[in-house]
Amino acid sequence: MSIFRNFPHILHGGDYNPDQWLDYPDVIDRDFVLMDKAHCNTFSVGIFSWSQYEPEEGRFDFVWMDDLFERCAKQEKKLLLATPSGGRPAWLGTRYPETCRVLPDGRREEWKGRHNHCWTSPVMREKLSIIIGKLAERYAGHPALAGWHVSNEYNGECRCPLCLKKFQEFLKDRYFSLENLNRAYWSGFWSHGFSDWDQVSLNDSALDLVHVDWLRFNTRQLCDFMAFEIGEVRKKSDAPVTTNMMGWFPGVDYWRVAGLCDFISDDCYPTWYNGETEYTAARFAALHDMHYTMGDKPFVMMESCPGIPNYKPYCKIRRPNEFQREMLLALGHGADGTMYFQWRKGLGNCEKFHGAVVGHDDRDDTLVFQRVADYGARLERMAEICDSRIHPRVGVLFDWESNWCLANCKGFGGGSAQQPEETILRHYQALWSHNVPLAVPESLSDFSRYKILVAPMLFMLKPGVAERMAEFVRAGGTLVMTYLSGYVDENNLCFRGGFPGGVLRELFGIRNEDIDIFEPSTQISMLLNGFSFAGKTEFSVLNRCEYIHPEGAEVLAVYHNVFYAGHPALTVNRFGKGKAVYLAAEMGEDFLHAFYGKWLSEAGIRPVLPNLPPSVRASKRFNDRFAYYFLLNMTDREQKVSLPRKMEDLWNGGRAVTEVILPASGGTVLKAVEIPETASSL
């Protein structure tokens, strides 16, 4: 089933703001000509249109949107209609200042910018209910409506009295009693015992759990507000709903938001700076894999930039083929839509120089427009990939709450040095370099679908996670865990009895006594015990490592050039039918690539295509009949790829080939009859 009912096409289009051009009707006419030339079929509209719908309180104007819907229906284009909460009109923000957020210092924020409304405010919800109701009633049955774009890039926080009262209610729901709260908050520290709920202060830096709970609460508030908006839509419309996430945005646990979406959407703005291609591609591949994992089905890249994002440190013109490779990266990892911010550059304000399909010159012969048009034409030939699947057998955990707990702990070199996200991505990249399908689940996800589960720096263990990990290994899985894992429970309290906590100590057969955070001049290495990687038996340790003791585990590598030389750095413990591998040291790319090659081979997980050049990345989607292979060239040189069997070059017109030449920084899409051996192999 495609993203939209009865619309079997890859979504291609983007954010469109005709309401900014109502004084220029010729521009809107021109847009519909250019949309066809660019092969665009879907647009998000009304995202910041509340002041156009309701220029004064109670006075409404939908004529311009009526016209847009009619035009799109005639040209067989689909619309994602936004709920307009992302930007309140001036009359709402100034007449009802209680809809504005209160800052951490207690000041009420003035009306300005966007996304500065209080999620708790009854007035905000009342006024939003009216406008959403009118939109849903007016357009629910329109043939151009495909779905709902709920708000836009939810973010921020409010500390008004209403929100603080809600936070106290959240604490009561979570801890039930002050006795439980004091126990969870370890309130004996610095005489912090609480005798009333309102004594818990968000400004108290002594309490690391309060800041984690605030982030949990803020995510709940966001989800409650989003559910309210969806509820208003659902009174009239059953069209699918989504909201656009913002990648690894640290302030929101997107796993909770995902549960409210009929399909997942995300905003992606890679930079492709010199020397960072592999890392950048891996970073966004991991994001795409997470969004596929969240719904276990195709997602939409709701925003990307066909030109140059205006807020990056280096606003460089895209090099040839970079744009196409970026789009193929998303499609190959499960996207059924690649859309842009923005369709047309505005004439004024802070995004007037942000890249767009159509520039201020209104031309269709620019580099950007021609690339988009060429890509759009190719998408029409590739529509058959819609709803094709991905079947990863390797999962790399990314858990927002665990990262929050680590970030709010004092120690380990400080927050900026902990970098759980960077560590997770380093391990993901090492696996991705083997061209195997990957998933990015959270710690509450189902582990049983994987053969290998990787938990880099899973600092906090939610209830039951350690037990499910043990069951995963007992049933035959391979679990890899790293330093700074299993230190605290869901209340950010350290485990008694040593690390890793809970049943993990028995599972891994090791005890972690301490962690060594290095000075920059320190040089420590790891010596492999009785085997080698690519002829090497010694690898440098980076930045930090743990001082661990084996308690039944087999030692695979030890430290060298340090006073604890000979102590384990890498262990494996046979547990049931599986293996629990503990990597106590931070290691570089060369080691991690070889390290994961070993475990992939032992688990029987093969690349989606064999014998690829080292600089070519491959991913695979499949349906009941065909397999689709996406090949990406990570270099600025042509790459020749020999294929194991004849395939159809879908990207370049469908010719049968046994080898392809990938252009510099480019890619292609190949089609072959699916061989139902295993979904993770050719």
Contact partners, residue 204, CB within 8 Å, separation at least 6: 192, 210
Mean pLDDT for all residues in the chain: 95
CA distance 662 to 338: 21
Structural domain that includes position 535: 394-603
Would you tell me the crossing angle of helices 420-432 and 277-295 to the nearest 10 degrees?
A: 90
89 in a domain, yes or no?
no
Peptide bond between residue 429 and the one before it cis (omega within 30 degrees of 0): no
Q: What's the domain count of the chain?
A: 3
Mark whether 447 and 337 lie in a shared domain: no
Domain match, 317 and 440 both: no
Task: Find out whether the peptide bond into 456 is cis, omega within 30 degrees of 0.
Answer: no
- Tell me, yes or no, whether 403 lies in a domain: yes
Candidates 109, 153, 157, 229; catalytic one: 153
Q: From edge to edge, which strands make up the β-sheet containing 241-242?
A: 241-242, 145-149, 78-82, 42-45, 11-16, 335-340, 299-303, 265-267, 244-245
Residue 581 scores a pLDDT above 70? yes
Residue 302 in domain:
yes
Are residues 431 and 511 both part of a single domain?
yes
With cut-offs at 50, 70 and 90, classify the pLDDT of residue 83. very high
Residues 262-286: tens digit of each pLDDT: 999 999 999 999 999 999 999 999 9
Residue 132 backbone phi and psi in degrees, to 5: -65, -40
Task: Please tell me whether residues 480 and 581 are part of one structural domain.
Answer: yes
414: domain CATH number? 3.40.50.880
Paired sense of beta strands 510-517 and 42-45, if any: unpaired
pLDDT bracket for residue 520 (50, 70, 90)? confident
Active site residue 648: no
Residue of 332, 292, 337, 241 whose CA lies nearest to 13: 337
Tokens 């001049």 appear where?
Answer: 521
- Which of 329, 351, 380 terminates a domain? The answer is 380
Name the residue among 335, 268, 290 with its Cα closest to residue 442.
Answer: 290
Whether residue 645 is found in the same domain as residue 511: no
Q: Is the model's pTM score more than 0.75?
A: yes
Q: Are 542 and 588 in contact (CB under 8 A)?
A: yes
Whether residue 371 lies inside any domain: the answer is: yes
Out of 303, 326, 442, 586, which one is annotated catalytic?
Answer: 303
Structural domain includes residue 181: no
Higher-scoring residue by pLDDT: 654, 641? 641
pLDDT computed for residue 679 by the predictor: 41
- To which residue do tokens 């890679």 refer? 270
pLDDT confidence bin for 571, thresholds 50/70/90: very high
Domain end residue (candidates: 380, 403, 421): 380
**Distance (Å, whole) CA 555 – CA 284:** 35
Instruction: Answer yes or no: do 295 and 351 share one domain.
Output: yes
Asked whether residue 254 is domain-assigned, the answer is: no
- Residue 622's CATH number: 2.60.40.1180
Please name the helix (run of DSSP H) or strand (run of DSSP E) that holds residue 507, with its range, or none: helix 504-508
Residue 678, pLDDT score: 47
Question: Does residue 487 share a domain with residue 538?
Answer: yes
User: How sure is the predictor about 304, in pLDDT bands with cuts at 50, 70 and 90?
Assistant: very high
Measure CA of the first residue to CA of the last residue in the chain; give whole Å.
24
**564 and 665 together in one domain:** no
State the pLDDT confidence band at 681, using cuts at 50, 70 and 90.
Answer: very low
Of 574, 536, 584, the residue nearest 554 (C-alpha): 574
pLDDT in tens, 223-246: 999 999 999 999 999 999 999 999
Q: Above pLDDT 90, what percent of the chain?
A: 92
641 within domain boundaries: yes
153 is catalytic: yes
| Same domain (yes/no): 358, 423 | no
609 within domain boundaries: no
Exposure string over 326-347, b if 16+ CB within 10 A, otherwise e: bbbbbbbbbbbbbbbbbbbbbe
Indicate whether 285 and 368 sit together in one domain. Answer: yes
DSSP character at residue 325? H
Instruction: Note whether 304 and 440 are same-domain residues.
Output: no
Considering the domain architecture, whether residues 585 and 460 belong to the same structural domain is answered as yes
Residue 659, φ and ψ in degrees, nearest 5: -150, 155
**DSSP state letters, 18-57:** GGGGTT-HHHHHHHHHHHHHTT--EEEE-TT-HHHH-SBT
Question: Which residue among 319, 345, 380 closes a domain?
Answer: 380
Pairwise CA distance, residues 203 & 126, whole Å: 31
Using alpha carbons, list the distances in angstroms from residue 582 to 101, 292, 487, 572: 45, 28, 14, 6
